[in-house]
Structure 1
Amino acid sequence: TGLIPTCESLHVTQPAAWTIDSLRNMPQAAFRRCLELIGQDPFFSAFQLSVLLAKTKE
């Protein structure tokens, strides 16, 4: 298991600096708080965004 970011750490680093798995392993509440920030990151591919979108539907 790698590091799991907090919403605050995503604001400091940029969401795309983290692996998709680490973002998917975030607690649901923290992930939802950062959803807008994650969605606005221009460095995610369409596939990566679709994987993250699946987490929002969990």
Structure 2
Amino acid sequence: MVKKKTIEFDELTREQLLHALKKYVLKELDVDLGNLPAQFLLDFIVEEFGPYFTTKL
């Protein structure tokens, strides 16, 4: 099991990631994700999957 690390983004990067995530969900799932749900989803992705990506770099 990979040890979870906290990955922090500066405000501009976080906004860009949120925009990309919302755009993807709208295009692929036809769901207009609001800001708060998008933030929760981004946090989940970063917390759950981020450590796997950072160990592969």
Question: Larger helix proportion, structure 1 or 2?
Answer: 2
TM-score between both structures, scaled by the size of structure 1: 0.29
Larger relative contact order (CA 8 Å, sep ≥ 6): 2
Larger Rg: 2
TM-score between both structures, scaled by the size of structure 2: 0.30
